[in-house]
């Protein structure tokens, strides 16, 4: 157990639907990162939050949104789902908001859109 | 254009061999990370480098900032090292870029 908790582990949903992925960071970590890993595009950075505020934004679609709550857990909302959104979604956390310290990854949420 | 290039894409080694995986990048970075992803999908952060060299057990990671190049070495490789190794860089604007990964298979 890495200390980063992602739920659910697996999710199957239909095109056009909306889902919410949840991430609880490791105790003491203030920063949360979301990544998407698909078969054809590999790992891609989506978005980072630090202590409740958006810190950096990567290749996140407009149909996707995220937030970090006061208790530091984060949610990634994916709407108007398409077949191409099927992927592994990872969350990672770190103590600070920069890349200068290590990251701890969750075990991921496997999203299948049918 | 890929900001991070890894080589080789696939690597098969006999148990005990010394292994090197290379990573070249084109952006200015604040840090470079080596990640390990096992067949089950879980990702483990192996190293974070901003300069020099780090060692952890049989794993050694080096970075040359001037040449924008990093290497991950595995000494005395073992079948349990079989995994995908991913190089990731964080640029000075906190953007992440990932290599496509090196799939390593170590045969007993």
Give the residue among A87, A64, A83, A90 at the shortest CA–CA distance from A7: A90
Mean pLDDT within B8-37: 95
CA distance B16 to B24: 26
| Residue A60 scores a pLDDT above 60 | yes
**Tokens, residue A44:** 């891609």
* pLDDT given at position B78: 96
Lowest mean pLDDT among A32-36, B38-42, B57-61: B38-42
Residue B46's pLDDT band (cuts 50, 70, 90): very high
CB A66, CB A76: distance < 8 Å = yes
**Higher pLDDT, residue B101 or A59:** B101
> Is A108 in Cβ contact with B42 (below 8 Å)?
yes
- Residue linked to tokens 């105790």: A27
Residues of chain B contacting residue A42, judged by C-beta atoms under 8 Å apart: 98-101
Mean pLDDT within A68-87: 97
Lowest mean pLDDT among A2-6, A94-98, A103-107, B17-21: A94-98
Mean pLDDT within A55-69: 94
**Tokens, residue A69:** 């709550």
> Is B44 in Cβ contact with A108 (below 8 Å)?
no
* pLDDT given at position A40: 81
3-state secondary structure of A40: coil
Nearest to B45 among A43, A98, A103 (CB): A103
> Is B88 in Cβ contact with A101 (below 8 Å)?
no
* pLDDT given at position A95: 85
> Is A105 in Cβ contact with B41 (below 8 Å)?
no
Those of residues 51-80 in B touching chain A at CB distance below 8 A are none
Percent of chain B residues topping a pLDDT of 70: 99
Q: Which residue of B has its CA nearest to A91?
A: B43
Q: Which residue of B has its CA nearest to A57?
A: B95
Residues of chain A contacting residue B45, judged by C-beta atoms under 8 Å apart: 92, 102-105
| Residue B79 scores a pLDDT above 80 | yes
């Amino acid at each position: 157990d890495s200390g980063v908790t992602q739920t659910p582990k697996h999710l199957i949903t239909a095109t056009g639907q909306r889902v919410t992925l949840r991430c609880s960071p490791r105790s003491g970590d203030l920063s949360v990162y979301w990544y998407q890993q698909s078969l054809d595009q590999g790992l891609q950075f989506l978005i980072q939050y630090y202590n409740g505020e958006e810190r950096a934004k990567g290749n996140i679609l407009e149909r996707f949104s995220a937030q970090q709550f006061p208790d530091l857990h984060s949610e990634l909302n994916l709407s108007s789902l398409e077949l191409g959104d099927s992927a592994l979604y990872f969350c990672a956390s770190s103590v600070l908001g920069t890349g200068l310290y290590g990251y701890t990854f969750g075990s991921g949420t496997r999203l299948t859109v049918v | 254009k890929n900001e991070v290039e890894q080589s080789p894409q696939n690597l098969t080694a006999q148990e005990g061999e010394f292994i090197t995986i290379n990573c070249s990048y084109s952006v200015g970075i604040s840090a470079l990370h080596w990640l390990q992803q096992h067949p089950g999908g879980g990702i483990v952060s192996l190293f974070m480098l901003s300069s020099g060299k780090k060692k952890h057990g049989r794993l050694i990671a080096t970075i040359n900032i001037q040449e924008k190049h990093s290497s991950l070495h595995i000494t005395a490789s073992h079948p349990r090292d079989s995994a995908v190794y991913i190089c990731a860089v964080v640029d000075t604007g906190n953007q992440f870029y990932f290599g496509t990964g090196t799939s390593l298979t170590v045969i007993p």
